[in-house]
A and B are shown apart, each in its own frame.
Chain A
Amino acid sequence: MTGTPFSVTTRTTVTGPLVTAEGELDVVTAPRLRAAIGALPLGRGRLLVVDLAGVTFCDSSGISALIAARNVAEAAGAGLALVAVPDRLSRTFGLIGLGDFFPTYPSAEDAIAAHT
């Protein structure tokens, strides 16, 4: 295994949880992102922000975890925002027709500002 060690950290902002993922998001690490998001308290009208700036690789398992995040947020009546999506991942979203599926913002501050 090469590449950055994977990590997920969570903190709370005024609009809701901010999850920061770093490293390779693949079949081994994606379940950790799912578990972290599944454990979040998400109320109606809140915003789940996922910061992907530090994600160096994302395969189909990683994309599944992000789709799951959107479904979880939707079920709770909350919103989802992906922030600082790396270029390579943006291109992948485009290729698989998910270019406009995830609301994306340059930074967490931008996402929070847009939500409030």
Chain B
Amino acid sequence: MMCQDHPGPGGQESAGPAFSALLEDSAEDLYEHAPCGYLSTLLDGTIAKINATLLGWLGYERDEVVGRRRFADLLTVGGRIYHETHFAPLLRMQGELGGVAFELKAADGTRLPVLVTSTVKTGTDGQAQLIRTTIFDARDRRAYEQELLRAREEAERERDRVQRLVRTLQQTLLPPALSEVPGMQVAAYYHPASADEVGGDFYDLFPLTGDTWGFFLGDVSGKGAAAAVVTSLARYTLRAAAVHDPDPATVLAHLNTVLHHEYRGADPRYCTVIQGHLRPAGDAAAVALATGGHPPALLIRADGTSAFLPDPGGQLVGALPNARFAAVDVLLTPGDTLLLYTDGLTEARTQGRVRYSEEQLRQDLAGLAPTTAPAVITAVTGLLAGFGDGVEDDTALLALSIPLPGGDRP
């Protein structure tokens, strides 16, 4: 730079001779003592020329190498196989190849991680003549790559660990199997939105007294460990309260008191729940339901009519000190199916990215009548599969039905 910027006559005279002396010296010296290895080989890999830098790295004398060894002989055995099966064929096909990682084996047996770039020199007739190879010391880079690799493996292990933990925790929040209810069919499904986080949806179906079963399905606000704590608290509170007094509105009021007491203030935790009990009688079943701020249950009658069960103003559970809840009664008769779901289903984004809706759900399922609990769950899981990643939240489903006489085939 200085020579070009200040080409004064005096400067030229004083710097000129030294500068050109440098230039005269450089061609051969640069080749021999460049800060990288140079190597020229015949097409079969026999080393024809090698610079002093590379000889120094390897600890060989020139005449131990030139005309006696092939490039692949300088590699570790693993590297040689890689060279023969990948590097050499690619180089032959495309004429050049760069930045490939190998390890060189020095005369004393030590290994030197390098990056190798090769080009095939062709003559005027287009025929390949020899291979020129440049070799860079890659110890630092290899150490860095090893560190990256180690960090990635660590991250993958950690992720696996988290996912295992999440699966386990999720399983503890769902019943391993639903209780059997004589004369009825029951089916449930849980669709986790994420493998990395515990979802906040829950359900259960369990015997209360000799002829009565309790059930619930709900959705805790939030996700992850903090939500899982609330889910767990909600589950055992609902089960214990139902044993004490099975009236669904009373059970929800009890849960409301517990949650509101536990999580008041700046970090409120609440949930939406449908709590119910059912009592099979003859070929029918009497169901009582109370809703706490939850999307309404869908009833698909044997005759093809369908409707959402009315909700007499049940409030979110845990948000208010004295929330109101009231129960409704419904009689299920043969061919009727009752579906409880969470809003992960009705707020899923459909193919057109529009959010699905309760009304759309009702229309999609009404055609199944008369149907059964397992058939409805199968239909809805099919819908969820169709939404793909449009299902942004966890989804829980619980269905109850009374089979038609003469089998469960609709």
Q: Which residues of A contact B (CB under 8 A)?
A: 27, 34, 38, 60-61, 63-64, 67-68, 71-72, 75, 95-98, 101
Q: Which residues of B contact A (CB under 8 A)?
A: 219, 221-223, 264-270, 272, 292-295, 313-316, 319-320, 323-324
Q: Chain A contact residues: over half helix, strand or loop, or mixed? A: helix
Min CB–CB distance A18 → chain B (angstroms):
20
Closest residue of A by beta carbon distance from B347: A59
Partner of A60, one of B221, B292, B315, B323: B221
Q: Given A34-B266, A71-B264, A97 and B313 touching (CB < 8 A)?
A: yes
The distance in angstroms between the C-alpha atoms of A96 and B316, with both chains bound, is 5
Q: Which residues does chain A contribute within 8 Å of B294, judged by CB atoms?
A: 96
The distance in angstroms between the C-alpha atoms of A98 and B320, with both chains bound, is 9
The distance in angstroms between the C-alpha atoms of A84 and B315, with both chains bound, is 22
Q: Which residues does chain A contribute within 8 Å of B270, judged by CB atoms?
A: 64, 67
Q: B295 near A68 (CB under 8 angstroms)?
A: no
Partner of A75, one of B265, B272, B293, B320: B265
Closest residue of B by beta carbon distance from A2: B353
Q: Which residues does chain B contribute within 8 Å of A101, judged by CB atoms?
A: 315, 319-320
Most buried by A among B266, B269, B294, B313: B266
Partner of A95, one of B219, B267, B295, B320: B295
The distance in angstroms between the C-alpha atoms of A71 and B315, with both chains bound, is 17
Q: B266 near A97 (CB under 8 angstroms)?
A: no
The distance in angstroms between the C-alpha atoms of A98 and B269, with both chains bound, is 15
Q: Given A64-B270, A67-B270, A68-B267, A98 and B222 touching (CB < 8 A)?
A: no
The distance in angstroms between the C-alpha atoms of A38 and B268, with both chains bound, is 13
Q: Given A27-B223, A61-B221, A96 and B266 touching (CB < 8 A)?
A: no
Q: Given A64-B268, A71-B265, A72-B266, A98 and B221 touching (CB < 8 A)?
A: no
17 further A-B contacts with Cβ under 8 Å, apart from A60-B222, A61-B222, A98-B319, are: A27-B222, A27-B223, A60-B219, A61-B221, A63-B221, A63-B316, A64-B269, A67-B268, A67-B319, A68-B265, A68-B267, A72-B265, A72-B266, A95-B295, A97-B315, A97-B324, A98-B316
Most buried by A among B264, B268, B272: B268
Q: B315 near A98 (CB under 8 angstroms)?
A: yes
Closest residue of B by beta carbon distance from A37: B266
The distance in angstroms between the C-alpha atoms of A98 and B295, with both chains bound, is 14
The distance in angstroms between the C-alpha atoms of A64 and B270, with both chains bound, is 8
Most buried by A among B221, B294, B314: B221
Q: A97 near B264 (CB under 8 angstroms)?
A: no
Q: B268 near A96 (CB under 8 angstroms)?
A: no
Q: A96 near B315 (CB under 8 angstroms)?
A: yes
What would 10 A/B residue contacts be, using CB atoms closer than 8 Å?
A: A27-B223, A34-B266, A64-B221, A64-B222, A67-B319, A71-B268, A97-B292, A97-B315, A98-B315, A98-B320
The distance in angstroms between the C-alpha atoms of A96 and B292, with both chains bound, is 7
Min CB–CB distance A104 → chain B (angstroms):
16
Q: Which residues does chain A contribute within 8 Å of B272, judged by CB atoms?
A: 96
Q: Given A67-B319, A95-B293, A97-B314, A38 and B221 touching (CB < 8 A)?
A: no
Q: Which residues does chain B contribute within 8 Å of A34, judged by CB atoms?
A: 266
The distance in angstroms between the C-alpha atoms of A38 and B253, with both chains bound, is 29
Most buried by B among A34, A72, A98: A98
Q: Which residues does chain A contribute within 8 Å of B320, judged by CB atoms?
A: 98, 101
Min CB–CB distance A101 → chain B (angstroms):
6
Q: Which residues does chain B contribute within 8 Å of A27, judged by CB atoms?
A: 222-223
Q: Which residues does chain B contribute within 8 Å of A68, judged by CB atoms?
A: 265-268
Q: Given A64-B270, A72-B266, A97 and B222 touching (CB < 8 A)?
A: no
User: Which 10 pairs show the lowest CB-CB distances between chains A and B?
Assistant: A97-B315, A96-B293, A60-B221, A96-B316, A67-B268, A67-B319, A97-B293, A64-B221, A68-B266, A71-B265
Q: Which residues does chain A contribute within 8 Å of B295, judged by CB atoms?
A: 95
Q: Which residues does chain B contribute within 8 Å of A38, judged by CB atoms?
A: 266
Q: Which residues does chain B contribute within 8 Å of A64, judged by CB atoms?
A: 221-222, 268-270
Q: Which residues does chain A contribute within 8 Å of B222, judged by CB atoms?
A: 27, 60-61, 64
Q: Which residues does chain B contribute within 8 Å of A75, judged by CB atoms?
A: 265
Q: Which residues does chain A contribute within 8 Å of B292, judged by CB atoms?
A: 97
Q: Given A27-B222, A60-B221, A64-B222, A97 and B316 touching (CB < 8 A)?
A: yes
Closest residue of A by beta carbon distance from B200: A60
Most buried by B among A71, A96, A101: A96
The distance in angstroms between the C-alpha atoms of A98 and B268, with both chains bound, is 15
Closest residue of B by beta carbon distance from A69: B266
The distance in angstroms between the C-alpha atoms of A67 and B271, with both chains bound, is 13
Q: Which residues does chain A contribute within 8 Å of B219, judged by CB atoms?
A: 60
The distance in angstroms between the C-alpha atoms of A77 and B355, with both chains bound, is 40
The distance in angstroms between the C-alpha atoms of A63 and B222, with both chains bound, is 11
Closest residue of A by beta carbon distance from B323: A97
